[in-house]
Amino acid sequence: MVKKIALEEHFLCPGFEDYWKTTVGDVDPKILAQVAARLSDFGDLRLKSMDGAGISRAVLSLAGPGVQAEHDTATAVRNARSANDFLAGEVQKRPDRYSGFAHLPMQDARAAADELERCMTQLKFSGAMINGHTNGHYLDDPVLSPFWERAEALGAVIYIHPTDPVVPSPALDGHKGLRRATWEWTFETGSHALRLVFGGVFDRFPKARLALGHMGETLPFLLWRFDSRAKLYGIKLAKPPSEYIKQNILVTTSGMCSQEPLDCTIAALGHERIMFAADYPFEQAEEAGHWMDSVKLPDNVRTDIAFNNAVKHFRLPG
């Protein structure tokens, strides 16, 4: 069993239940209760699952949408700080097993930047996870330039996690099974990342870095087409879109335990930009861990994806 660091591992802190339940209203109540119990646990349940998967360290992030769904800016700022302090307290109990991602109030660019800096310098977090758009505002919004300036200066990786679109896609009407995690979130999150690429955010902040789960939300499979269509439509960027995806975006394996997309992502981005994630408790950590142990890879590539790349990109203990 190869040693692993897991990068998309969720928790829930007191007072955030109502935010989270907006994304799970159609889930069987019995399953929901089990998931909620695992989200709130930092002891035996979580550690047993990690041990069974060979995960030595989990980087914990608040289950979305959190304050991204909050309409009052002052409340968002206050609640984000509270969530981060709560997580820091749990990490301090088991610093050998847990690290954290900051939860940020993107309603206010400077407040979000300040909270990111506090989390990274004082709480020793490893970056931030942002749960998609914030009340319809995406991360390419020019008003967020102070945030990107600070994130770049801190060397912070910003992990974009899926969330519901502003308006449910009419293309999926009548097909409940395609909503949310099946397909809708992939399109939503990949589109969010592409807004930053095509919107020139990485021209303005060339050292800024994103992370995307689910093997890059399909972006590694479409690099040639992004470049081709950017030329066709006269998109003015310093580099082809594929170069920003290769240089500014990291990806994880969360929710994608499959050889074929892994092979494609390695070919597109290089294995050095791919990292392991289990997506606990929404996926089974043991399944993800056993897949990482058995998928066909050279030993050095497996070790890098499972562990070494996370140490490098997120400044985690080796």
| Catalytic center residues | 279
Do 145 and 109 contact (CB within 8 A), yes or no? yes
Q: Which residues pair with 100 in a beta bridge?
A: 60
Instruction: Give residue for tokens 């497996």.
Output: 302
14/83 Cα distance (integer angstroms): 9
